[in-house]
Amino acid sequence: MDVTHEGEAISVRFVPNTDLTVGSHRRASQSIRLVRTQLKRFADAVETKDGGVTAHFLMADMNAVSDFISRIDEKLDRLRNEKITIKMLEEILLLTPLERQRWTKDGRLPAAGNSYIDRGQKIRLWTYSPDVVARLWKNPEIIENWRKADLASGSASAGQSD
């Protein structure tokens, strides 16, 4: 977070970085909502624009604002460490559902756990480590090599999805 201080007024600006979002628009939106909600509790004015949130504290004590920002940073750290859902994974790595399923099943894309949703019955969904996803996102050649290997082995049609 960027903090500017002019007289008794303090401005705080948050724009999610790729370290937090790993390229996910969903996670970026989630982080902006989290920060905006927290800032609205104490700031005199909060605005969301240009892919981030800005808060203005008019008669603020810098120590109090710093403590407040530290608490928000702790919440963002928890978000950063949350496991990645299948929809986020597919968005971040530009995978088809069939690629994700095949690569999870054969171990190339290790699942980090499960989450469950209740749709009349419990449905298990894989979740993925943010560190593994970040590594793959930063090294897209890994996924390209997986696709080439699948094509060479004749399982390329399994990677196609409507």
Q: Around Cβ 13, how many Cβ atoms within 10 Å?
A: 13
pLDDT at 162 over 50: no
- H/E element holding 28? helix 25-40
0.85 surpassed by pTM: no
Task: Give the pLDDT score at 156.
Answer: 55
Region of poorest pLDDT, from 20-24, 62-66, 84-88, 155-159: 155-159
Q: Hey, is 88 helix, strand or coil?
A: helix
Banded model confidence at residue 161, pLDDT cuts 50, 70, 90:
very low
Q: Which residue has the higher pLDDT, 158 or 5?
A: 5
User: Residue ranges of the domains in the chain?
Assistant: 2-81, 86-159
CATH number of the domain located at residue range(s) 2-81 in this protein? 3.30.1360
Tens digit of each residue's pLDDT (9 = 90 or more) over 84-124: 999 999 999 999 999 999 999 999 999 998 888 888 888 88
